[in-house]
Structure 1
Amino acid sequence: MKGNGIKALIFMSFVLVFVLLIGGMWYFMHEDQTTTPTTESSQVVSTSSSETTTTSSESKPKTIDDRIQAMTVEEKVGQLFFARVPDVQQIEDIKEYDLGGYVLFGRDVQGLTERQLKDKILSYQQASKIPMLIGSDEEGGLVSRLSTNPQLVTEPFASPQTLYAQGGIPAIVSDTKQKADTLRSYGINAGLFPVADVATDPQAFIYDRTLGQDAQLTADYVAAVTKALKEEKVGSTLKHFPGYGDNRDSHVEIVTDTRSLEELRQVDFVPFAKGIEAGADSILVSHNIVSSIDPTEPASISPVVHKILREELHFNGVIMTDDMDMAGLADFISQDEAGLKALQAGNDLVMSSSYDVQIPVVIAAVENGDYPESQLDASVKRVLQWKQDLGLLAN
Structure 2
Amino acid sequence: MKHKLIVALSILLCLSGCSTKPDEKPVDKTEEHQEESIKTMEIDGMIEDITSTRIIIKAPKETISMNREKADISGDLIVGNKAHVTYKEQDDDRIAIQIQISSETKSDIDEMIFNMTLEEKVGQMFMVRCPTSEALEAIDTYHMGGYMLFDETISPYTKDQFITNNEAFQRESKISMLIGVDEEGGSVNRLSWYTNYRSQPFASPQTLYQEGGFNRIIEDTKEKDALLKSLQINVNFAPVSDVSTNPSDFIYPRAFGKDAAQTSEYVKTVINTMKTDQMGSVLKHFPGYGNNQDTHTGSSLDKRSYDNFVKQDFLPFEAGIEAGAGSILVSHNIIMAVDENNPASLSPKLHEILRQDLNFDGVIFTDDLFMDAIRKTRGLEEGAIEAVEAGNDMLIIRNYKVQIPAVLRAVKEGTIKEERINESVKRILLWKKQLGLI
Under a length normalisation based on structure 1, what TM-score does the superposition of the two structures give? 0.83
TM-superposed CA distance for 1:216, in Å, is 0.4
Partner of 1:49: none
Partner residue of 2:258 out of 213, 219, 232: 213
Partner residue of 1:309 out of 354, 367, 390: 354
Cα deviation code 1:206-257 (max 9, x no counterpart)? 0000000000000000011011000001001000001101111111111110
C-alpha separation in 2, matches of 1:363 and 1:212 = 41
Say if 2:386 is the partner of 1:338. Answer: no
State whether residues 137 and 144 of structure 1, in contact with CA within 8 Å, keep that contact through their aligned partners in structure 2. yes
Partner of 1:251: 296
TM-superposed CA distance for 1:304, in Å, is 0.5
What are the equivalent positions in structure 2 for 1:23-102 lying under 5 Å apart?
A: 63-102=108-147
TM-superposed CA distance for 1:87, in Å, is 2.5
Partner of 1:17: none
C-alpha separation in 2, matches of 1:318 and 1:62 = 19
TM-superposed CA distance for 1:166, in Å, is 0.7
Structure 2: gaps spanning 5 or more residues:
1-79, 81-105
Say if 2:245 is the partner of 1:200. Answer: yes
State whether residues 281 and 327 of structure 2, in contact with CA within 8 Å, keep that contact through their aligned partners in structure 1. yes
State whether residues 148 and 179 of structure 2, in contact with CA within 8 Å, keep that contact through their aligned partners in structure 1. yes
Structure 1 stretch displaced more, 187-196 or 356-365: 356-365
Partner of 2:235: 190
What are the equivalent positions in structure 2 for 1:362-377 lying under 5 Å apart?
A: 362-377=407-422
Say if 2:292 is the partner of 1:261. Answer: no
SS at match of 1:200: coil
SS at match of 2:234: coil
State whether residues 200 and 246 of structure 1, in contact with CA within 8 Å, keep that contact through their aligned partners in structure 2. no
TM-superposed CA distance for 1:339, in Å, is 1.1
Q: Residue type matched to 1:307 in 2?
A: E
C-alpha separation in 2, matches of 1:326 and 1:270 = 27
Partner of 2:16: none
C-alpha separation in 2, matches of 1:324 and 1:62 = 33
Partner residue of 2:176 out of 131, 152, 163: 131
C-alpha separation in 1, matches of 2:268 and 2:388 = 27
How many residue pairs get aligned? The number is 334
TM-superposed CA distance for 1:112, in Å, is 1.7
C-alpha separation in 1, matches of 2:384 and 2:373 = 15
CA RMSD in angstroms comes to 1.2
SS at match of 1:147: coil
Q: Residue type matched to 1:289 in 2?
A: I
TM-superposed CA distance for 1:62, in Å, is 6.8
Partner of 1:29: none
C-alpha separation in 2, matches of 1:218 and 1:306 = 22
SS at match of 1:294: coil
Cα deviation code 1:4-29 (max 9, x no counterpart)? xxxxxxxxxxxxxxxxxxxxxxxxxx
Structure 1: gaps spanning 5 or more residues:
1-55
SS at match of 2:217: helix
SS at match of 1:82: strand
Q: Residue type matched to 2:172 in 1?
A: A
SS at match of 1:239: strand
Partner of 1:164: 209
Partner of 1:296: 341
State whether residues 299 and 333 of structure 2, in contact with CA within 8 Å, keep that contact through their aligned partners in structure 1. yes
Distance 1:254 1:146, change over 3 A: same
Higher helix share: 1
SS at match of 1:143: coil
C-alpha separation in 2, matches of 1:331 and 1:340 = 15
State whether residues 258 and 291 of structure 1, in contact with CA within 8 Å, keep that contact through their aligned partners in structure 2. yes
C-alpha separation in 1, matches of 2:221 and 2:429 = 24
Partner of 2:373: 328
What are the equivalent positions in structure 2 for 1:140-179 lying under 5 Å apart?
A: 140-179=185-224
Q: Residue type matched to 1:332 in 2?
A: T
State whether residues 193 and 200 of structure 2, in contact with CA within 8 Å, keep that contact through their aligned partners in structure 1. no
C-alpha separation in 2, matches of 1:247 and 1:301 = 17
State whether residues 247 and 255 of structure 1, in contact with CA within 8 Å, keep that contact through their aligned partners in structure 2. yes
What are the equivalent positions in structure 2 for 1:266-285 lying under 5 Å apart?
A: 266-285=311-330
State whether residues 74 and 97 of structure 1, in contact with CA within 8 Å, keep that contact through their aligned partners in structure 2. yes
State whether residues 132 and 152 of structure 2, in contact with CA within 8 Å, keep that contact through their aligned partners in structure 1. no
TM-superposed CA distance for 1:108, in Å, is 1.2
Q: Residue type matched to 1:95 in 2?
A: D
Say if 2:265 is the partner of 1:226. Answer: no
Under a length normalisation based on structure 2, what TM-score does the superposition of the two structures give? 0.75
Cα deviation code 1:179-209 (max 9, x no counterpart)? 0000000000000000000011101100000
SS at match of 1:140: coil
Say if 2:395 is the partner of 1:350. Answer: yes
C-alpha separation in 2, matches of 1:186 and 1:108 = 13
Q: Residue type matched to 1:142 in 2?
A: S
Say if 2:104 is the partner of 1:104. Answer: no
Partner residue of 2:405 out of 360, 381, 386: 360
C-alpha separation in 2, matches of 1:120 and 1:229 = 24
SS at match of 1:178: helix
Identity %: 47
C-alpha separation in 2, matches of 1:360 and 1:347 = 17
Give the 4+ runs in structure 1 shifted more than 4 A: none
